[in-house]
């Protein structure tokens, strides 16, 4: 039978070669700026907790990709991502509309510096995040290896508004209720959420709370010590720069995959 015009209009663009095409399983919207989604994990796809992938969609005839930290741990059979929604964002303006059953593209090789291998052994691991910068830590706090390597794990998450903290609270609840993680994590994990543009019990930028010592008082821990403390930082460029300066002032040095040291940094995806 002759094709109707509609058939042409709705024919999906061909998936490019050499990338995975995965199926969206679940989508949860937190605010008008934030959402998470889960999708199928390709058979044989390996990554280290904390790494990022290039995630994309066909927009018209053309794929558009952006770097996304994988928010699920390496053992999970699905993949999770936490995303901002930018109204005119080349990718996120489309990605924010995905529904279960839709196709999301992913390039084959994950990479990144926010991995346990890039840190020298220590006792206490700080994960400093702002906004969607919590994503790589969502992966790492759900990985048993983190608790094999560290006695104490402190996740700081600073957002403009209280509603933006919800993903982090959801993660804590998931861990507490998880059949095997709950026991492995025990009381090793501390969550330190702070807000900068609304009233909240814990208020202020993490950089200010480190500088004035309030973070340490609130958590009941001693000041930063390069002999035992390790750090991972994920946020905007300005946040990375300012937090890195404070860690360096405390005597910690920046590491990389091929040269482990006391802290590592990675820019959170924006736009
Ligand atoms: P603030 O409200 O004072 O700008 P954004 O959504 O712009 O990425 O910000 C996320 C959070 O990061 C906000 O709470 C913001 O605080 C904070 N922030 C922005 N810049 C810095 C910085 N240079 N150092 C520490 N925190 C920052």
Q: Which of 173, 180, 197 is nearest to 31 (CA)?
A: 197
221 class by beta-carbon count within 10 Å (0-12 exposed, 13-18 middle, 19+ buried): middle
Distance separating alpha carbons of residues 199 and 250, to the nearest angstrom: 30
Q: What is the DSSP string of 222-262?
A: PSP-TTTEEEEEEE-HHHHHHHHHHHHHTT--B-BTTB-BS
Asked whether this complex has an ipTM greater than 0.95, the answer is yes
Ligand 1 centroid from CA 102, angstroms: 33
Q: What residue ranges of the chain are covered by domains with CATH 2.40.30.10?
A: 9-107
Name the residue with the closest Cα to ligand 1, atom 19: 239
List all residues 6 or more positions away from 199 whose beta carbon is below 8 Å from its beta carbon.
none
pTM of the full structure: 0.94
Q: What is the pLDDT of residues 41-98, one digit of tens each?
A: 999 999 999 999 999 999 999 999 999 999 999 999 999 999 999 999 999 999 999 9
**CB of residue 242 inside a 6 A radius of ligand 1:** yes
Which residue intervals of the chain are DSSP H helices? 5-10, 92-95, 135-140, 144-149, 166-177, 181-185, 206-211, 214-219, 237-249
**Sign of the CA dihedral with 168 first, then 172, 178, and 181 last:** positive
Ligand 1 centroid from CA 205, angstroms: 6
Name the residue with the closest Cα to ligand 1, atom 3: 196
**CB of residue 207 inside a 6 A radius of ligand 1:** yes
Examine the pLDDT at 232 and tell me if it is beyond 70: yes
Distance separating alpha carbons of residues 158 and 235, to the nearest angstrom: 9
Ligand 1 centroid from CA 213, angstroms: 18
Which residue has 């280290």 as its token pair?
48
Ligand 1 centroid from CA 12, angstroms: 39
Ligand 1 centroid from CA 233, angstroms: 13
Local confidence band at 153 (pLDDT 50, 70, 90 cut-offs): very high
What is the number of the ligand 1 atom nearest to the C-alpha of 159? 14
Ligand 1 centroid from CA 239, angstroms: 7
Q: What is the DSSP string of 123-152?
A: SEEEEEEEGGGGHHHHHHTT-HHHHHH-SE
Local structure of 98: helix, strand or coil: coil
Q: Looking at the domain 116-267, which fold is it?
A: Rossmann fold (3.40.50)
What length does the chain have? 271
**CB of residue 134 inside a 6 A radius of ligand 1:** no
Mean pLDDT score, 130-141: 98
Question: What pLDDT sits at residue 11?
Answer: 55
Sheet-wide strand order for 152-159: 189-195, 152-159, 124-130, 229-235, 263-267
Question: What pLDDT sits at residue 151?
Answer: 98
**CB of residue 203 inside a 6 A radius of ligand 1:** no
Alpha carbon 93 to its chain centroid, in Å, reads 19
What is the number of the ligand 1 atom nearest to the C-alpha of 131? 10
**CB of residue 188 inside a 6 A radius of ligand 1:** no
Q: What residue ranges of the chain are covered by domains with CATH 3.40.50.80?
A: 116-267
Distance separating alpha carbons of residues 214 and 33, to the nearest angstrom: 29
Distance separating alpha carbons of residues 185 and 172, to the nearest angstrom: 10
Ligand 1 centroid from CA 21, angstroms: 34
Distance separating alpha carbons of residues 109 and 126, to the nearest angstrom: 27
Q: Looking at the domain 9-107, which fold is it?
A: Elongation Factor Tu (Ef-tu); domain 3 (2.40.30)
Local structure of 23: helix, strand or coil: strand
């Amino acid at each position: 039978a002759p094709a109707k015009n509609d058939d042409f209009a709705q024919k999906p663009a061909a998936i490019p070669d050499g990338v995975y095409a995965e199926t969206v399983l679940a989508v949860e919207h937190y605010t008008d700026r934030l959402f998470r989604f889960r999708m199928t994990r390709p058979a044989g796809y390996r990554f280290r907790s904390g790494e990022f992938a290039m995630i994309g969609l066909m927009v018209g005839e053309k794929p558009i990709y952006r770097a996304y930290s994988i928010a699920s741990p390496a053992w999970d059979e699905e993949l999770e991502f936490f995303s901002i929604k930018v109204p005119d964002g080349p990718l996120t303006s489309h990605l924010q509309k995905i529904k279960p059953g839709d196709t999301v593209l992913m390039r084959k090789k994950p990479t990144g510096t926010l991995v346990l291998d890039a840190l020298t052994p220590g006792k206490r691991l700080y994960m400093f995040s702002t906004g969607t910068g919590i994503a790589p830590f969502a992966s790492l706090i759900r990985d048993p290896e983190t608790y094999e390597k560290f006695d104490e794990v402190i996740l700081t998450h600073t957002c403009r508004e209280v509603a933006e903290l919800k993903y982090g609270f959801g993660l804590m609840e998931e861990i507490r209720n998880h059949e095997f993680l709950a026991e492995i994590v025990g009381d090793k994990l501390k969550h330190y959420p702070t807000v900068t543009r609304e009233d909240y019990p814990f208020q202020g930028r993490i950089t200010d709370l480190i500088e004035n010592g309030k973070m340490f008082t609130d958590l009941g821990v001693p000041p930063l010590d390069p002999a035992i403390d390790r750090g991972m930082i994920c946020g905007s460029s300005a946040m990375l720069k300012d937090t890195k300066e404070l860690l360096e002032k405390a005597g910690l040095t920046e590491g990389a995959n091929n040269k482990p040291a006391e802290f590592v940094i990675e820019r959170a995806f924006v736009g």
